[in-house]
Amino acid sequence: MEQIWFENYPEGAERTINPDKYSSLLEMFEKAVQRHPDIPAYINMGKVLTFRKLEERSRAFAAYLQNELRLEKGERIALMMPNLLQYPIALFGALRAGLVVVNVNPLYTPRELEHQLNDSGAKAIVVVSNFAATLEKVVFDTQVKHVILTRMGDQLSFGKRTLVNFVVKYVKKLVPKYKLPHAVSFREALSIGKQRQYVKPVIHSDDLAFLQYTGGTTGVAKGAMLTHRNIIANVMQAKWVAYPLVSKSDERIAVIALPLYHVFALTVNCLLFIELGITGLLITNPRDIPGFIKELKKYRVMAITGVNTLFNALLNNSQLKEVDFSTLRLSVGGGAAIQRAVAERWHKTTGNHIIEGYGMTECSPLIAATRNDSTEYSGSIGVPVPNTDIRIVDDAGNDVAMGERGELWVKGPQVMRGYWQRPEDTADVLKDGWMATGDIVEMGQDLNLRIVDRKKDMIIVSGFNVYPNEIEDVAALHPKVNEVVAVGIPSEVSGESIKLYVTKKDESLTREELRSHCRQHLTGYKIPRDIEFRDELPKSNIGKILRRVLRDEEVARVKAQLKSQKPAE
């Protein structure tokens, strides 16, 4: 498709980026340290870690990996931590040792952890003690030879470190018993590494930097092979979105509430902010909304990134009005569509519009974004970022006409090399250099892309296509609705029918009241047939509602019901 969307780029914005500005993430990191040595790189639990200290400690960790563990370039190391100072130290240390980083969700079950460790072939893992019991159950069934163990407070000052570790283990009882006798403490690793010589490896731009796992909710999790060049390109593309706003701000603190092990936070919150010399305020437990808001009150923040559920949770806490947002210049939403009701409330509360970014793990992840000078909610995902080509195709792979719906295909320097050791899965999504996203989109006359829905999430009611996002957006506009998700469930009458799962903002909300609200905005076949109220909805590690989990529950329930109705033989 001709890049006509350039017309929608903000005035003065560059139309191209240089994915070869740095030869590797090592060079990007080193140059950032040279530019901002004494600026705080991260703040966590009140502790400040400057760029200089981050360089020193990551260098010590890299030397430990090279000299003590004898890990060689290209071998994999897993990181299993929430947002703590230990994460960027371990991350940059691993990259500086030439290793491939495998980010692991700390909330994984033993089965999920075992699969990811075995699939990646990780030889080492850095894990926080809260989740060591999970690792203990599977570590001897994997190739992991080295366990490096850290505790929540290990990078804090002595007094606070002792207090935090005591409270986490003995007061809040967040550390289940475990036995990992051969584990080495993270603090000891840094101490030893500080005495060893670090040798910078030769890293090429096409060398792997990350195995970033995806697809865990749709089947077996697959490792997207992301190279140094993939990530550098996407950092530059993300910089295109953020830089015009953050460059005008005197404040240099950005809130990092999304877990850094997730690809969106990894690229935008970790690596982009390092490149820009921005201080990251690490929120270790963003689900503790009162604690989160307490942290926000302490700092004059310039940027915040989140998902729809995070913004919504903040807005639903009365204490948010006490936060000073006068310095906020950049709010970015990703991971899932930002609903109109949430976007408009966020603007009313903070005076800041949410820029919506769209992407996927396989694309490092950013593909498109709304304009950074947008002044109102559009419901779109904006335009492709620089150096990104797109096609919108039908089921046969033919380009559709302008304004028609089709699957989005993407080509650019941020597109992964493929799935780790899965050539067939790679061939399913990479077609002559084009990444088939599985998302149904349309480009309107305003040249903005709009996500209609995931291809496999489409609901077909009596032959009519129904897109869950549309139903959810309408339901979310009801003032008594907190969160909502729509799924298709089997129906003998219509093939599929629509079911809504809802958490309430006001307990007086009834099914008929919500159904009546939907009737005002939706045509007949789009009206939810069933509405179920729940105390909470299942979510991923970044707060994205797992629609597929609910749909699988319904399918299993209907099958069981039909089976029970069969006459006995």
pLDDT interval class at 12 (50, 70, 90):
low
Q: List the structure tokens of 328.
A: 């906020």
pTM over 0.85: yes
Average pLDDT over residues 343-347: 94
Which tens digits make up the pLDDT trace of 417-450?
999 999 999 999 999 999 999 999 999 888 899 9
Q: List the structure tokens of 488.
A: 């298709």
Closest CA to 123 of 144, 138, 148: 144
Average pLDDT over residues 543-555: 85
User: Pick the residue with more confidence: 185 or 547?
Assistant: 185
Strands 366-369 and 354-359: antiparallel
Give the other-Cβ count within 10 Å of 493's Cβ. Answer: 9
CATH number (2.40.30.10, 3.40.640.10, 3.30.70.20, 3.30.300.30) of 458-562 reads 3.30.300.30
Strands 124-128 and 146-150: parallel
- Asked if residue 516 has pLDDT above 50, the reply is yes
Average pLDDT over residues 124-129: 98
- Asked if residue 9 has pLDDT above 80, the reply is no
Average pLDDT over residues 294-303: 96
User: Pick the residue with more confidence: 300 or 453?
Assistant: 300
Q: Which of 26-30, 366-370, 431-435 has the highest mean pLDDT?
A: 26-30
- 8 Å CB contact between 264 and 294: no
User: Under 8 Å CB-to-CB from 413, ≥6 apart: which residues?
Assistant: 19, 229, 230, 233, 387
pLDDT score at 215 = 64
pLDDT score at 4 = 72
User: Pick the residue with more confidence: 261 or 556?
Assistant: 261
Residue 424 amino acid letter: E
**DSSP H/E element including 232:** helix 228-246
pLDDT interval class at 91 (50, 70, 90):
very high
Closest CA to 65 of 149, 148, 153: 148
Average pLDDT over residues 190-201: 98
pLDDT score at 554 = 83
Average pLDDT over residues 306-321: 93
Question: Residue 169 carries which DSSP code?
Answer: I
High-pLDDT (> 70) share of the chain, %:
96
Average pLDDT over residues 367-376: 82
Give the lowest-confidence range in 29-43, 217-231, 403-417: 217-231
pLDDT interval class at 231 (50, 70, 90):
very high
Tell me the CATH number for domain 50-203.
3.40.50.980
Average pLDDT over residues 153-159: 94
Average pLDDT over residues 149-168: 95
pLDDT score at 254 = 96
Can you tell me whether residue 328 is helix, strand or coil?
coil
pLDDT score at 569 = 47
- Asked if residue 125 has pLDDT above 60, the reply is yes
> Do 50-203 and 458-562 show the same overall fold?
no
pLDDT score at 216 = 45
Q: Residue 30 half-sphere exposure, CB side, CA atoms within 13 Å?
A: 10
pLDDT interval class at 568 (50, 70, 90):
low
Dihedral in degrees, nearest 10, Cα atoms 83, 89, 92, 95? -100
Question: Residue 208 carries which DSSP code?
Answer: E
How is the chain split into domains, by residue range? 50-203, 458-562
Q: What does residue 483 show for φ and ψ, rounded to 5 degrees?
A: -130, 155
pLDDT interval class at 492 (50, 70, 90):
confident
Average pLDDT, the chain: 91
pLDDT score at 217 = 39
- 8 Å CB contact between 56 and 294: no
Average pLDDT over residues 379-405: 92
Average pLDDT over residues 544-559: 84
- Asked if residue 218 has pLDDT above 50, the reply is no
pLDDT interval class at 19 (50, 70, 90):
very high
Q: What angle do CA 150, 154, 158 make, to 5 degrees?
A: 150
Give the lowest-confidence range in 257-261, 299-303, 483-487, 493-497: 493-497
Distance CA 254, CA 299 (A): 10
Ramachandran region of residue 556, left (φ > 0), alpha (ψ -120 to 50) or beta?
Answer: alpha
The end-to-end CA distance of the chain, in Å, is 60
Average pLDDT over residues 368-381: 82
User: Under 8 Å CB-to-CB from 564, ≥6 apart: which residues?
Assistant: none
Alpha-helical segments (H) within 97-227: 110-120, 132-138, 158-166, 186-194
pLDDT score at 455 = 73
